[in-house]
Amino acid sequence: MPFTVTVVALYLLGLLVIGAWASKKIKTVEHYIIAGRDLGFWVFAILVVASTMSGMTLLGVSGLGYVAGWPTAWEQIFVPLTCAVCILIYGTKLHRVSRRRGYLTIQDYFAHRFYSPRLMRGISALAVIVVSAIYLVGQYTAISIVLGWVLDIPHIWALLIGTVVVMSYVVLGGMFAIAWTTLIQGLLIAFGVMAVFPFILRAAGGLTHVNQVLGSIDPNFLRMAYPQAHPPYAPYAFATPAFLVSFALLLGLGLGAAPHIVNNILTARRVHYFKWTPLLAFFGYLVIMFMIKIIGFAGRAMVHDNILSVSHPDMTFVAAIQFALPAVVWPLFAVIVLAAVMSTTDRLMLTIGAAFGWDFYKNLFNRAASDRRITRVSQIMIVVIAVATAALAISPPELLAWLIWMGIGVMLATFVAPLLAGLYWKRATRAGAVSAMLAGFASSIFFGAIHRFGPALPAAPHRFYHYLFFRPLPVHFSLYSFLVAVGVLVAVSLLTPPPPAEVLEDTETGFFIADRSYSGKR
């Protein structure tokens, strides 16, 4: 234990040192929020991937594999896909326009594209803060789970340590600190997972034996989807074909539009990065995600064989490492697990701080505010929101993946329709975007509440409304709210006057991505 404490303490201290170093690079608010638009290829690519690598990547992915088997493996395709979608579909045009127009947040784009410097900015900034805070609670939960396990300390102390450390280096160094700590964390995660994977699989008896055990528990564990039935025959059998369609939208489109991920687009130094980073992000992340999922399968097999004990499905990855590796190297891999759960937390904090400092304080309340004052407001609000969300994480939901999916679902319903329509549909209007964002957010909370707390589905036969207002819903709740948002955006846009032509020209709106006339570097 003393060696473990020392290794973890050195890692956490190293993060604080990076934060202190990065603070010396902060000269303007642009440096603090988007690193001066000057991140190189590898730092940028790993930042996008690692910002997607939430607490769900190691803990939730392996935990879901433990609970539900191979039908959940689609998650390992959809999540890497969202990195490619973010960079290529959302990012290529956003990066180009942001450099020309000086955007610091995605809210800048919304305010410009939907010719609404106050209303659209305010609504989108508020939505950013709320959905990022929901997601942040899940990340704190992951950090406290890992720190509590590694250091053998109570949940509340683990939560406090994790909050203070991440909050401190984000407040000190802003995006520069996040980018460089994320580079280190991303490399640790990639090499760490590849290193432990063969040891854990061998300890479980090999992939063939693991699959045999899964099949003996439930033959459907070996299929790529559970039978289409509503309600499913077991709580874990939710990954039916219909659900997987909604899952693809949730992770493939929704996660990529998350503010803490899509805002990374503004940090890249050159536009030609967007040619290769989608492929790098997709295939690199795909390999790591499948390894983690199979570790979850291996954990379930070892528990079934009575050679491993797992206190909770989300602890499968951690327990498997401790079982399969010598005790002397466990502390090193404990740092890798910590790196995974911290790599998204810091980005969420800065996203929220920037929304308060840049969008609310600077653009809505004090247009004359200096860069120093804006940065200070952002830092203060990072502290406030960090403490508030950590308090909410004291009593987290039972399954980490559910909380994180809830956050992603709200993001899908709130941001994807206005973002895609703004980039590619010239007829999308201010009224349409505002209405869609409000309708998507409200309906996602409504259907999310039904999914979790609504009345139980009556006995067969079912009526149509049973599939909308009774749990369990046959698809992820965000599909309903996303369709509401799309319908509202299209209907309201068509009923209101079209956007000004100069706005469409300035924001390069239209069904295209590339702009060969722009070099990407001023």
Question: 355: Cβ–Cβ under 8 A, 6 or more apart, which residues?
Answer: 105, 107, 125, 128, 129, 132, 259
- Pick the more confident residue, 462 or 74: 74
- What does the alpha-carbon distance between residue 65 and residue 225 come to, in Å, rounded to a whole number? 13
Q: How many residues does the chain have?
A: 522
CA-nearest of 481, 327, 498, 343 to 414 is 481
pLDDT of 402 reads 60
Least confident window among 45-54, 76-85, 508-517: 508-517
More confident site: 516 or 364 = 364
Write out the two tokens for 240: 């039916």
Q: How many CB atoms lie within 10 A of CB 415?
A: 29
76: closest CA among 85, 88, 65?
65
What does the pLDDT read at residue 455? 81
**What pLDDT is recorded for position 330?**
75
Question: What confidence score (pLDDT) does residue 55 get?
Answer: 62
Q: What percent of the chain has pLDDT over 70?
A: 94
Distance CA(198)–CA(335), nearest Å, equals: 19
Tokens of 481: 């709210």
User: How high is the pLDDT of residue 311?
Assistant: 87
91 against 139, higher pLDDT: 91
pLDDT at 288: 93
pLDDT for 91-100, tens place per residue? 999 999 999 9
Instruction: Report d(CA 504, CA 93) in Å as an integer.
Output: 13
Summarised one tens digit per residue, pLDDT across range 373-392 is 999 999 999 999 999 988 87
| 114 or 247, greater pLDDT | 114
Residue 518 has pLDDT above 50, yes or no: no
Instruction: State pLDDT tens for residues 16-47.
Output: 999 999 999 999 999 999 999 999 999 999 99
Whole-number pLDDT of residue 521: 45
Percent of the chain with pLDDT over 90: 63
Task: Quickly state the pLDDT bin for 520 (edges 50, 70, 90).
Answer: very low
Query: Per-residue pLDDT tens for 148-182?
Result: 877 888 889 989 998 999 999 999 999 999 999 98
Summary mean pLDDT of the chain: 89
* pLDDT greater than 80 at residue 359: yes
- Would residue 119 be called left, alpha or beta, if left means φ above 0 and alpha means ψ between -120 and 50 degrees? alpha
Place of tokens 């950090």: 143
Tell me the pLDDT tens digit for each residue of 300-327: 999 999 999 998 888 899 899 889 988 7
Question: For residue 120, is pLDDT > 70?
Answer: yes
Structural domains of the chain, with CATH? 2-506 (1.20.1730.10)
Torsion (CA) 436, 440, 442, 446 in degrees, nearest 10: 150
pLDDT band at 522 (very low <50, low <70, confident <90, very high): very low
Q: Assess whether pLDDT exceeds 60 at residue 194.
A: yes
Closest among 145, 211, 52, 219 to 400, alpha carbons compared: 145
For residue 314, which phi and psi values (nearest 5 degrees)?
-70, -10
Is-above-0.85 flag for pTM? yes
pLDDT of residue 155: 85
- Taking only the tens place, the pLDDT of each residue in 413-468 is 999 999 999 999 999 999 999 999 999 999 988 888 888 777 877 766 567 666 77
Tell me, what's the pLDDT at 519?
A: 45
130-139, 192-201, 431-440, 505-514: which has the minimum mean pLDDT?
130-139
